[in-house]
Structure 1
C-alpha cells in the first residue's frame, strides 16, 4: 500500500512536467507567411540610391512589395508623401515600398543619385528603399521593370506608376500614375494582399 501513493506521486509529477510543453504546442500558430525562396520577380540586384551599395531584392521575399517609378520634378512628385505614409503605416505588417527614380518621362529626374536622395529625404522625409536612377520602359528598362511589364502587359506611361506584388512574388495589381497612394482602390488592394 505504501508503494501506490509513491507511484501516484511520480505519475502526477510526470504529467505536471509535460503540461508547459503541451500548453505551448496547443497555441494557435501565427499566420505569418514566410517565403522559403526568392520569387523570380525579385531576383535582381540594384544599387542603393544613397551610396550605390548593391542591394539584392531577395531581401524583400515574403513581403508585399509596391514598386514605384519616381521623379523629383513631376506633377505627381507630391505622391512621395503618401508613399512614405503607406510604408510607415503598413511596414510592420509586411509592406515595403521600392522607389526607382527614372528620367524617362519629360526629363523630370535630371539629377545625380546624391541630388535625388537629398531631395527625397529633405523635401518628403522618404525612408522607404530607393534605388539608383534607371530606365523603366522600352529596351533600356531595368530588369525588374522589364519583367513587370512582361508579366502585366502594362508599362509605366508616366512617373509614379505602381505595381503591387504579393508575398509569393505574384504581381496582383498595376496602378497608373493618377492613382494616388491614399486612393481607396490602392489602399484596399494593399490591405487585402497583406491579409493573405
Structure 2
C-alpha cells in the first residue's frame, strides 16, 4: 500500500487520485474553519506558494472536533478563498477517527502514530509530511505551526 493508492473527492466532489501528486512532497492536514488553529491556513498557503512545484498542501476539512467545520463544501471553499486566498487543493469533509474514517487517514495514522504510539488524531490541524517518493515521514501536532516545518519539508525534496 502506498499514499498513491488513495483517492479522495475534492471540495467540488470530483474524485482525485493522490497519484497525481507523484514526485512532489505532500503536507496533508485535517482542517476546520472555526478553530483556534484556523489562522494556520495563512502559513499553509505561504508554504504552498514558496515551494510551488515541489510541495502540495492537501487540506481535508473535518467536523469531528468541537463541530468546528459545520459548513457545506461551498461554505468551506468560500471561507478559504476569501479569508486566506488559498490556492492549494481542498477536499471534501472527511472523518479522521472512528468507524467512518477516510481510508487515507487510517493509512496515515498506521504509518505515523502519535505520541506513545497512539493512532487517534486528537484535534484539527494535525499534519502529515510525505516525501517526494510517497513515503510518510513525520506527523505534527496541531500546535506545530506550518512555517516551523520548513527544514523538514526541504529535506523531503529530491536533490
So what's the TM-score if we normalise by structure 2? 0.92
C-alpha distance in 1 between matches for 2:45 and 2:137: 21
C-alpha distance in 2 between matches for 1:91 and 1:141: 30
Aligned twin of 2:8: 46
Aligned twin of 2:110: 150
CA RMSD of aligned residues (A): 1.2
Aligned twin of 1:194: 157
Aligned residues: 154
Higher helix share: 1
Aligned twin of 2:138: 173
Q: How does 1:5-154 map to 2 (within 5 A)?
A: 40-49=2-11, 51-92=12-53, 94-154=54-114
- For the Cα contact (< 8 Å) 1:42–1:144, is it kept in 2? no
Structure 2 stretches of 5 or more lacking a match?
115-119
Aligned twin of 2:117: none
- For the Cα contact (< 8 Å) 2:33–2:76, is it kept in 1? yes
C-alpha distance in 2 between matches for 1:112 and 1:156: 22
- For the Cα contact (< 8 Å) 2:3–2:18, is it kept in 1? no
Moved runs in structure 1, 4+ residues, more than 2 A?
none
So what's the TM-score if we normalise by structure 1? 0.75
- For the Cα contact (< 8 Å) 1:162–1:177, is it kept in 2? yes
